[in-house]
Chains A and B, each alone.
Chain A
């Protein structure tokens, strides 16, 4: 026979267990979050003194130990743009196929498995692939073109999965109405579904490009130049790039001033953080405005 007092005691104990459990979870979450914030704040504090108009707009001098990092900034810009030009149409197209056209059959499943695998392949293996196919076999050389192509394939899975999610979020009644008014399938996608899904697609694209902009391993043997104090003239030129430059000046150049290292790290962080912020803003604004 259990009396009321025992039941009360047990309930109290269970409550206490829960309190302790929840606090532990909260603490662990804090352990994850604090270092992220610290990394960002620390790089800002250490890097800001190095930032000047000269640092952002001049060529590196004295074996990269002085001057600016303009070629690296420009190089990362071109690589990111090149990646966007290739991966956005391909990725959005693939997502449209999966969300709007594909029926649930064996081939569709194989496509999905392929996408999951693309997402899991190590970035340095993409670098090897880019070297084998674009640099050597297709003879593009170490170039912006080869680097962008390599980064594009790496970015595809992110763009495909986020775009597909955005397309699937559009209610099917929208499609039914459009088709019933005589619209073809493509007209429905082009005029109704895509505009509705656009904020979600843009968010996914930016998050994908953010990763591409920060990657080093895929461009190591496909696009990056150790030191090239001039602007790339065409897409067949090699280029400096921010992440690779940070790697070079923090491991390969002896006697590198710490100030320039942190300055470069800060510019890279701002580049990535800026894209992340834009993506987050677009997403939250479109969520607030959405009427369905």
Chain B
């Protein structure tokens, strides 16, 4: 009996350690980004950092065009992915018969699993030429191309999270609406969707977070020109995101140089943005759970 107790003790400790490891990792990621990125704040003058020019070879470290590029491409992706993703989620959760659901769900999961480098590759070879000829612009490698592909990448996230949220709405809500004489269509819009709104909101936020953090696809298809987008027409010109800048330039910099530190600084910005998005998503999830508990008790 003693050996059982001893083993139980060790294993319980190990499992607890594994459980807490996630906190450790988030902390370590932040610490190591800070360790390598913080010197940039001292090394780069403030007005250089917030200028419109990113050209590290001549010591121009303006991160505004990169932030602008990320925002431009992400908004484009959201415009594509949010309506399509939500419509697909509603169709799968509320309209499609069971057998179709069983086919569609793994299919969406498959899209989520396609490597982003593969989509970038097809973007270069198939989509960019198509966009160049149909829109009659000098190059097909534009923010627009990136937005379309990023939209495709964000869709599975939006679909699966929103579909879960719709699925979690109690059957009785729908039954009550239908019994009052509402059509299924009305039930979806006036009962089910409002009841699932916090989950749907989470889905949209996580989808946007996914698009913002995507690296390989945008690096391959957006043309990589660090220009501050000032008009909507910038969508049809080359752009460059924060993620793509890190991926493209980190391989060529000397460890410990100003350029190296500045790339980690961009990493910190990305980390903080994703932290805000995910904390917001998490708070929605927890609030919803609390409300559900209140309703049930």
Interface residues of A (CB under 8 A from B): 14-15, 17-18, 21-22, 24-26, 28-29, 31-33, 35-36, 39-40, 42-43, 89-94, 96-98, 101-102, 107, 109-129, 131-133, 136-137, 153, 156-157, 160, 184-187, 207, 210-211, 213-217, 220-221, 243-244, 246-247, 250-251, 258, 261, 265, 268-269, 272-273, 275-276, 280
Contact = CB atoms under 8 A, between A and B. Distances in A.
B220 interface: yes
A214 B220 contact: no
Interface of B: 4, 7-8, 11-12, 14-23, 25-26, 28-29, 32-33, 35-36, 83-85, 87-88, 90-92, 95-96, 104, 106-111, 113-122, 124-126, 152, 155, 159, 183-186, 206, 209-210, 212-216, 220, 243, 246-247, 250-251, 255, 263-264, 267, 270-271, 274-275, 277-279, 281-282, 285-286
Nearest to A224: B251
B92 to A, nearest CB: 7
Contact of A25 (B35, B87, B116, B264): B87
A111 B21 CA distance: 8
Contact of B213 (A33, A124, A211): A124
B107 A33 contact: yes
Contacts of A123: 213-215
Nearest to A129: B29
A217 B153 CA distance: 15
15 contacts: A14-B186, A28-B88, A32-B108, A36-B114, A39-B118, A94-B18, A116-B281, A117-B274, A117-B278, A128-B264, A153-B29, A246-B121, A247-B121, A250-B220, A268-B117
A15 B22 contact: no
Nearest to A123: B215
B19 A93 contact: yes
Given A120-B277, A125-B33, A211-B113, A268 B247 contact: no
A220 B25 contact: no
Contact of A272 (B114, B184, B247, B281): B114
Nearest to A107: B20
A216 B216 contact: yes
Contacts of B36: 128, 132
Nearest to A157: B22
Contacts of B125: 250, 258, 261
Contacts of A31: 84
A124 B273 CA distance: 14
Select the residue from B251, B255, B281, B282 with max chain A CB neighbours within 10 A. B282
Contacts of B111: 32, 36
Contacts of B8: 184-186
Select the residue from A29, A36, A133, A244 with max chain B CB neighbours within 10 A. A29
Contact of A18 (B28, B184, B263, B275): B184
Contacts of A43: 118, 122
A216 B116 contact: yes
Contacts of B4: 184, 187
B250 A96 contact: no
Contact of A116 (B12, B120, B121, B282): B282
B87 A120 contact: no
Given A33-B107, A216-B116, 12 more contacts: A18-B183, A93-B18, A109-B286, A111-B23, A116-B278, A120-B210, A123-B213, A124-B213, A125-B33, A126-B29, A156-B21, A217-B216
Contact of A32 (B23, B88, B270): B88
Contact of A93 (B15, B117, B119, B206): B15
A15 B286 CA distance: 38
A184 B119 CA distance: 50
A17 B183 CA distance: 10
Contact of B282 (A113, A217, A251): A113
B274 A122 contact: yes
Contacts of B22: 94, 111, 114-115, 118, 156-157, 160
Contacts of B267: 124-125, 128
B7 A128 contact: no
Contacts of A136: 255
B23 A97 contact: no
B153 to A, nearest CB: 11
Contacts of B279: 113, 117
Given A116-B282, A153-B25, A214 B114 contact: yes
B270 A125 contact: yes
Contacts of A210: 113
Q: What are the nearest 7 A-B pairs in CB distance?
A: A122-B213, A97-B19, A93-B18, A214-B115, A18-B185, A132-B32, A28-B87
Nearest to B81: A32
Select the residue from B83, B118, B243, B285 with max chain A CB neighbours within 10 A. B118
Contacts of A268: 115, 117-118
A273 B271 CA distance: 30
A18 to B, nearest CB: 4
Contacts of A117: 26, 274-275, 278-279, 282
B274 A133 contact: no
Given A28-B91, A217-B215, A220-B251, A186 B23 contact: no
